[in-house]
């Protein structure tokens, strides 16, 4: 009887562990897709890939090959920590339709200052054509998705 009980418990534990492993694997694949659409960039990369405001300070000319969301954040910022996973989820869900650039304002103080970033998080949505849209503070996922659908990818 003890052997049967031990065998049964072993099968149950093994099954539960393998199910958990499969969930992590699938989650890992989703995160890999999202991370390929998420790039931490510097001021120099911003000037090269997003907008070179030194060359053209009167009009915003987006330089990217697909729409972008630029997340200005700080590691100590509570609302930044809340919105970051939502943005990364959306980058994965939209599967390459836009790129998410993340800029740590503590590391890139000059860029934040030159762009007038005063509140965190600040998100700037760069559509392929038209003017960028800037929002400040935490926003729920549904609101971010609406902005992406109606403004960024229009």
Tell me if 139 is assigned to some domain: yes
Tell me if 28 is assigned to some domain: no
pTM for this model (two decimals): 0.77
In tens, the pLDDT along 37-68 reads: 899 999 999 999 999 998 877 788 899 999 99
Residue 17 falls in the annotated catalytic set: no
Tell me if 21 is assigned to some domain: no
Residues spanned by the domain of 135: 37-152
Tell me if 18 is assigned to some domain: no
Taking Cα atoms as reference points, which of 124, 118, 113 lies closest to residue 87?
A: 124
41, 77, 112, 148: the active-site residue = 77
80, 115, 148, 152: the active-site residue = 80
Give the N- to C-terminal CA distance of the chain in Å, as an integer: 67
pLDDT at 93: 95
pLDDT at 56: 73
Q: Is the pLDDT of residue 6 over 90?
A: no
């Amino acid at each position: 009887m003890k052997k049967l009980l031990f065998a049964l418990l072993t099968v149950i534990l093994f099954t539960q562990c393998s199910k958990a492993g499969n969930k992590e694997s699938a989650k890992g694949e989703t995160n890999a897709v999202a991370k390929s659409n998420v790039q931490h960039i510097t001021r120099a990369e911003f000037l090269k890939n997003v907008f070179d405001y030194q060359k053209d300070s009167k009009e915003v000319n987006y330089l990217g090959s697909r729409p972008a969301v630029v997340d200005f954040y700080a590691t100590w910022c509570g609302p930044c920590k809340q919105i970051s996973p939502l943005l990364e989820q959306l980058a994965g869900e939209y599967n390459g339709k836009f790129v998410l650039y993340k800029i740590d304002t503590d590391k890139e103080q000059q860029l934040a200052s030159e762009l007038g970033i005063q509140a965190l998080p600040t998100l700037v949505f760069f559509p392929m054509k038209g003017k960028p849209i800037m929002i400040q503070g935490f926003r729920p996922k549904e609101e971010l998705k609406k902005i992406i659908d109606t403004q960024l990818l229009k």
